């Protein structure tokens, strides 16, 4: 019997576990990081006091992680941005405000491949939700992997999202000058026949990328800007906002069933 647990990374070892998972998923599995000689995926937001890392363990083995970037006034002052979070390098988020609203960036959400269809994913969601509530966060901001480096496929995916009613009617963000995607893409989302249908505006039955579908349908997220190309990860991503008060009832019930303050859960 394997015991799952989720914790906030409060020690160097726990932080190291989070960075190793990220390197394993983004680097070793997906090949998005180039040569990572330290076997860790690190950026400058990882050690800020406003950054919260969560790690899911299967017994003693780290299997999933995410991080929460809370607003950082020092970073906002230095960059001239609104919130002082990583996504503001790409997006103008100055409209993300309102009385009693606290926006935080959910980022680096990843699960080791062999645990991706297990309860580890639910534990990671529930841990992020519980810690966000504890810190009075009302909305998550993120940019989810579109699983393609094709500008056309990314544009068509956004149109599918709009067709499905998944583009926010309340929140909009404006992209800064985006990096140029590759002129010859290597990773496509649609088949040639699906692409032809999408070009003709026939969106019925066209699939969304798995990550986008997960955030939209399981977490109640809505998309707030057109696709962004990330030079570091060499993929397009789609910016989104999710209100914690609007988490779907089915997802909330799964969180409640775990007991958000519980430390452990058994998995056969």
Q: Tens digits of per-residue pLDDT, 53-91? A: 999 999 999 999 999 999 999 999 999 999 999 999 999
Q: What is the pLDDT of residue 177?
A: 84
Please tell me the chain's helix, strand, coil percentages from 3-state DSSP, rounded to the nearest 5.
35, 25, 45
Query: Among the listed ranges 38-47, 97-106, 186-195, which one has the minimum average pLDDT value?
Result: 38-47
Q: Structure tokens of 110?
A: 């990843």
Confidence category of residue 232, pLDDT binned at 50, 70, 90: confident
Contact of 239 with 142, CB cutoff 8 Å: yes
Confidence category of residue 207, pLDDT binned at 50, 70, 90: very high
Q: Which domains does the chain have, with CATH numbers?
A: 2-267 (3.40.630.30)
Average pLDDT over residues 106-115: 94
For residue 139, count other CB atoms closer than 10 A to its CB: 20
Q: Tens digits of per-residue pLDDT, 29-50? A: 877 776 655 688 888 999 999 9
Q: How far apart are CA 178 and CA 261, in angstroms?
A: 40
């Amino acid at each position: 019997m394997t015991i799952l647990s989720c914790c906030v990374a409060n020690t160097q070892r726990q932080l190291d576990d989070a960075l190793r998972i990220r390197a394993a998923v983004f680097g070793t599995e997906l090949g998005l990081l180039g040569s990572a000689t330290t076997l860790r995926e690190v950026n400058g937001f990882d050690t800020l006091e406003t950054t919260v890392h969560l790690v899911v363990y299967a017994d003693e083995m780290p299997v999933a992680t995410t991080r929460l970037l809370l607003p950082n006034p020092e970073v906002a002052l230095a960059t001239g941005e609104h919130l002082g979070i990583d996504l503001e390098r790409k997006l103008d988020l100055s409209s993300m405000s309102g009385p009693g609203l606290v926006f935080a960036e959910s980022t680096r959400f990843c699960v080791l491949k062999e645990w991706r269809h297990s309860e580890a994913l639910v534990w990671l969601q529930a841990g992020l939700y519980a810690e966000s509530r504890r810190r009075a966060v009302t909305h998550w901001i993120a940019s989810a992997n579109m699983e393609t480096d094709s500008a056309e496929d990314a544009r068509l995916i956004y149109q599918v999202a709009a067709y499905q009613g998944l583009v926010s009617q309340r929140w909009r963000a404006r992209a800064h000058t985006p990096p140029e995607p590759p002129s010859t893409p290597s990773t496509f989302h649609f088949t040639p026949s699906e692409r032809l249908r999408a070009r003709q505006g026939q969106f019925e039955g066209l699939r969304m990328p798995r990550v986008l579908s997960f955030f939209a349908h399981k977490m109640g997220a809505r998309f707030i800007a057109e696709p962004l190309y990330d030079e570091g990860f060499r993929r397009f991503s789609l910016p989104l906002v999710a209100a914690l008060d609007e988490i779907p009832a089915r997802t909330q019930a799964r969180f409640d069933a775990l007991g958000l303050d519980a430390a452990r859960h058994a998995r056969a």
